[in-house]
Chain A
Amino acid sequence: MSITVRAAMTTCFLSLAPVLLMACASPVFAASEADFNSAYAAAEAANKEAGGLRNQWTTTSAALVTAKKAADAGDFDQAVASAREAEALAKASIFQATTEKEAWKALEIR
């Protein structure tokens, strides 16, 4: 590569650097209240289904509380992240309850 080309690339990179830094420093798409409402509703629905199976997890409830608090404080990025975590936990508890309908027999003393 010639020195001229390298210098041009360096100049180009340096001029783009502030833009790249800004892009990394703040989220490209900040979460909105609507995003939170949607994520929270999905998490609540999954947790309700786990409740129907008599198998809710305390960590799901805790993540829902964290999500709500973050939303109340206006931190919708955190609120959405916590709501999604709650939904994932609730879905895991549903999976557990469903598989255990038969799997429990493997532990039985016979």
Chain B
Amino acid sequence: MRPVIRSASAVLALTAVWLGLVPAASAVDTPDPVADARAFQKFFVEKFPKVKLEDFVNGPYSMNEDMYRQWQDKEQFPPYDFSLDAGKEMFGKPFKNGKSYADCFPNHGIGVRQNYPYFDEKEGKVITLELALNRCREANGEAPFSYVKDEMAALTAYMAYTSRGKPFDIKIPNDPRALEAYQNGKRYFYTRRGQLNFSCASCHVQNPGERIRAEVLAPAIGILNAMPIYRSEWGGMGTTSRRFTTCNSQIRGVPLEPQADEYRDLEYFLSYVSNGLPISGPGARP
């Protein structure tokens, strides 16, 4: 290219950016969680105009009328009830040192699910409810629970139950590390991985309501509001950690360790974009 043409092109490009015709690269790459959440919610509302925004928390049941009716019947005697009862009992039982979970959480742990995960500015990391529960145990001399098994599911089921109906209220403090964690979570959500070359978005943005084998895929919006869940496929309860690691295995990716930074950031992102939608956990899924 001749130098004159090259210079003219550069001037034209810069003018276009200056006039706002073309977004500058830095503007595109700067995270804007508020705009993201607005766009995220708008996408699903427009894709499923018959579904009310708050109904997305019911996952696949919000996508299919027959399944919705079956689910309403199932809720009369929900399969997570045993876990809920166990969680309530565990939550109220003091540790060996006499303290309890209530001592570790604001408002004694009742009705606070909607505020998790949060960004801890002291630590510079995202703290999920599951992580906070295990830290509470360890701080009181108890061994941590597995993140993917029944005890953790029971505890989080009870805490979610006491928060039902409260809208997700995830905050991103004015701290560049918090914004970075959010952005990392967003990147994880959209990144393809595993031999099947799927991202979280491949199923839960591009194909909610469609079947993958016998299952109806849930929409990404509100997907964590119902956690933990009883899954018929699992024949038991599952935590958010179990959901994330299982998703990775299903696409033939080696799961990360539960509560790895990536999963914590993913939970932060997914919860933030569902701000305003009610907690509905514990949930039941096919």
A binds B: yes
The yes or no answer to A82 lying at the interface (CB within 8 A) is no
One digit per residue, 1 when the CB lies within 8 angstroms of any chain B CB and 0 when it does not, for chain A 85-110 equals 00001001100110010011101111
A-B pair number, CB within 8 angstroms = 52
A51, A61, A109: most-surrounded residue (chain B CB, <10 A)? A109
B187, B199, B205, B252: most-surrounded residue (chain A CB, <10 A)? B252
CB pair A104 B254 closer than 8 Å: no
Q: A109-B43, A110-B39 are in contact. Are A58 and B191 (CB under 8 A)?
A: no
Residue of A nearest to B41 (CB): A109
Total count of chain B residues near the partner, CB < 8 A: 24
Q: Which residues of B contact A61 (CB under 8 A)?
A: 254
Q: A54-B262, A56-B254, A58-B249 are in contact. Are A109 and B195 (CB under 8 A)?
A: no
Give, as a whole number of angstroms, the nearest-CB distance from A25 to chain B: 34
CB pair A109 B39 closer than 8 Å: yes
Q: Which residues of B contact A78 (CB under 8 A)?
A: none
Give, as a whole number of angstroms, the nearest-CB distance from B85 to chain A: 36
Per the bound structure, the CA–CA distance linking A103 and B191 in Å amounts to: 8
The yes or no answer to A37 lying at the interface (CB within 8 A) is no
Q: Size class of A's contact patch? A: 20 to 34
Instruction: Please provide the chain B residues from 11 to 44 with a CB less than 8 Å away from any CB of chain A in the complex.
Output: 36, 39-40, 43
CB pair B195 A58 closer than 8 Å: yes
The yes or no answer to B173 lying at the interface (CB within 8 A) is no
Per the bound structure, the CA–CA distance linking A84 and B175 in Å amounts to: 47
Q: Which residues of B contact A66 (CB under 8 A)?
A: none
Q: Which residues of A contact B194 (CB under 8 A)?
A: 57-58
Per the bound structure, the CA–CA distance linking A61 and B255 in Å amounts to: 12
Say which residue of A58, A97, A105, A107 sits within 8 Å of B254 (CB atoms). A58
Residues of A within 8 A of B (CB): 51, 54-59, 61, 89, 92-93, 96-97, 100, 103-105, 107-110
